[in-house]
Structure 1
Amino acid sequence: MKVNAMYASLPMLILGLAVTLAGCQATPQEAAKPDRPVLVQSVAFEPQAPERTFVATIRPRVESDLGFRVAGKVAKRLVSVGDAVKVGQALAALDATDLRLQREQAEAEVRAASAALQQAEAELRRILTLRGQGWSTTATLDRQQAVTEEARGRMARAERALLLAENALSYATLTADIDGVVTATQVEPGHVVDTGKVAIRIARSSEKEAVIAVPEAQIAAVRTGVASLALWSNPDKRYQATLRELSPSADPATRTYLARFSIPAADEPVQFGMTATVTISEAAASEVARLPLSSLHNQGGGPAVWVVGADSRPVLRPVTIAAYQSRDVLITQGVSDGEHVVVLGAQKLDPGQRVRIVEALQF
């Protein structure tokens, strides 16, 4: 009877054991992972080669030193430093008393030579007439022809002397040969000047340039780069600049090379003597995005970064590396301007996991 009772309760025991085992195998539904806080940086592409800046001074491209072409005493100076002058404008004048006397003397020589020539030619005509009638000899004719030629030569010399005297008188007034601005005056009334001594310096106002001192290490960049200029008085406006001249030798004191940049579009605000900044950028510099080394993540398929989309879910994206630096990595492809890249916490992210941006860095 006990055996029968035991067999009768066996199905109940098996059912209870199955229920117990089923309960042990069941697990509660896993809780959703919380948003992981990450630090991101906005992508900004920039030229790989950094721009170089130099302090420049605005100077005239053409600066002429003008002096008197005759010696004399300065009677008056008609311009001052900073005055704008036009071609042909009088700048200074010498005392022309002696020069006028020289002209009058030359005029008198011309009159005397003219009278002598007229007399010689009349005598030659008379001898030619007598010679035709047989009343004059060949020797007399030859002698008179020589006298006439001498009179003609004297007349030519007198005319040239008069022309030189008139030119010398005109040189007593110093005139501008270019449109420009007076930058220096070396004479005052009463000074006695020699021929060719610098009296007035004029800068051509239509052509302006920027002059900089270039260190030896920057010569190649200045020669091949693209230049622009901004005045210190108006830094918001930029002018295109073109390298016109680079000195072949260094300054013995500063060990720098003088470079001159022409400014084709220089307008009225660009004045001589102003200070400016010349910026040199590489002509064909490749653009790179600079990110911290901590932003890189490699799962065996090459370098990649986590890019956070609008849905706050990171996507692992492969990138092309241009160079590794001590703290940063330069990326050429794989990301776009304005995208957010995880720079801290990239090693603990999973695909599709939502993230929470705690701070966005802008560089």
Structure 2
Amino acid sequence: MFMPIEFRRHISFIATIALISTLSAALVGCSEEKSETSQIVRPVKVIEIAQADNVRQLSYSGAVRARTEMNLGFRVSGKLVERVVNVGDRVNVGDLLARVDPTDYELAVRSASANLDAAERQVETVELVRDRAKQLLARKFASQAQFDQAVLSYNQAVATRDAAKSALSQAQNQVVYTSLAADRPGIVTSINADVGQVLGSGTPVATVAVEGEKEVQVAVPETEISNFRAGLPVKVGIWSDAGLSLDGTVREVAGSADQQSRTFSVRVSLPNDPRVLLGMTATIEASAGNGASLVSVPLSALAEKDGYPIVWVVDRGTETVRSRPVTLADFTADGVRVTEGLNVGDLVVAAGTQFMTDDLKVIISSDTTHQAAAAAETVVR
């Protein structure tokens, strides 16, 4: 059939418009489908904040020592001429430890003895004079004043004799003091003087650890000393014997800090156990209550927004993440401790925080880790 040229042109124009409309609709549909399918859903690994323990374990190291240690020294000065003990020797009551030169003190004994003899002869002399004066007074051949003078001379002589006796006893004691002996059984732990050394009275020569009760002495910082009191039960472990655990008791807490270390000395009494030897390294463990609960999270969970620290918390209902500002306490070997911003049960993104945005859809990994508050950690010194 023959069609006019103008009619054919009109038909061609309409077909072109229809084709363009169809293509546009197809493109719009593809764009919408692509937009719907391009929504990002990221898998994340999270940690769940668990309930914090209300007890901390404090651990401090110290050395086993005797409850009583004696620094023994001479009660007189002199030159040390003999030392018969060494470190590690066991001594009993009366055992000789050392001697100083007794020559001068022996001479002092001789002098005091001679003075006492002279004083006794003087007493005998004035006693005869007193008796004679008494007889003369009775016969009226001597006055009362003469008799009183004789009595006074006799009393003075007796006093001089008594003083001489005391001087002799003191000199004899000085000779005894030239020998240093143990007055309690124990073990010699240190020697502070050697033969030939001139010592003053009281200078320590040997230290003896008295046999009997043992204890552990530890240094506690001032931030934790309030957790210790006399009578507090603690656990004591010995480094050389991992299987040995003893029940100890705090015996003494120092009333003031050491001037150098600014720590407080705490002494813990130990039960009698032959496996515990003096000088062994021991560890005491005590329980202490928490102050404010501090939540610990891995360092990888920490991010920053507008210059402030944040973490990304997962909303369980919508499975999306939201940023939450937190307040940091300090950093630890395992991460960072948070004082404010997190609650028990919160799911915190543990890794990949650089890819997080608010309201981002996420898929929670099945290996969720429960992270308790850091206040339950063990403090070791």
Q: For the superposition of Structure 1 and Structure 2, which TM-score range results when normalised by the shorter chain?
A: 0.5 to 0.7
Distance 1:135 1:192 in 2: 64
Q: Mark the CA change 1:206 to 1:149 in structure 2 (over 3 Å): closer, same or farther.
A: same
Shift of 1:325: 6.3
Q: Mark the CA change 1:257 to 1:157 in structure 2 (over 3 Å): closer, same or farther.
A: closer
Shift of 1:175: 1.6
Distance 1:150 1:248 in 2: 54
What's the TM-score, normalizing by structure 2? 0.59
One-letter identity of the residue aligned with 2:245: R
Give unmatched runs, 5+ long, in structure 2.
1-51, 290-315, 317-342, 349-365, 368-381
The correspondence of residues 228-267 of structure 1 with structure 2, limited to 5 A, is 228-251=235-258, 254-263=261-270, 265-267=271-273
Give unmatched runs, 5+ long, in structure 1.
1-45, 284-296, 298-322, 329-343, 346-363
Q: Mark the CA change 1:230 to 1:112 in structure 2 (over 3 Å): closer, same or farther.
A: same
Deviations 1:218-272 (A, max 9, x none): 3343449630111112221222211122334445655543322111x13222222
Distance 1:70 1:209 in 2: 33
Q: Secondary structure at the match of 1:119?
A: helix
Deviations 1:254-303 (A, max 9, x none): 5543322111x1322222211112111359xxxxxxxxxxxxx9xxxxxx
1:170 pairs with 2:176: yes
Shift of 1:210: 0.8
What's the TM-score, normalizing by structure 1? 0.62
Match of 1:161 among 167, 177, 184: 167
**What residue in structure 1 maps to residue 85 of structure 2?**
79
**What residue in structure 1 maps to residue 29 of structure 2?**
none
Q: Mark the CA change 1:269 to 1:50 in structure 2 (over 3 Å): closer, same or farther.
A: same
Q: Mark the CA change 1:130 to 1:245 in structure 2 (over 3 Å): closer, same or farther.
A: same
**What residue in structure 1 maps to residue 313 of structure 2?**
none
One-letter identity of the residue aligned with 1:246: V
Distance 1:252 1:144 in 2: 66
Q: Mark the CA change 1:255 to 1:74 in structure 2 (over 3 Å): closer, same or farther.
A: closer
**What residue in structure 2 maps to residue 122 of structure 1?**
128
Q: Mark the CA change 1:161 to 1:324 in structure 2 (over 3 Å): closer, same or farther.
A: same
1:186/1:200 contact within 8 Å kept: yes
Aligned residues, how many?
251
Q: Secondary structure at the match of 1:154?
A: helix
Shift of 1:181: 1.6
RMSD: 3.2
The correspondence of residues 57-76 of structure 1 with structure 2, limited to 5 A, is 57-76=63-82
Deviations 1:26-64 (A, max 9, x none): xxxxxxxxxxxxxxxxxxxx9752433222211222222
The correspondence of residues 32-51 of structure 1 with structure 2, limited to 5 A, is 49-51=55-57
**What residue in structure 1 maps to residue 212 of structure 2?**
206
Distance 1:101 1:248 in 2: 49
% identity of equivalent residues: 32
Distance 1:179 1:327 in 2: 64
Q: Mark the CA change 1:49 to 1:190 in structure 2 (over 3 Å): closer, same or farther.
A: same
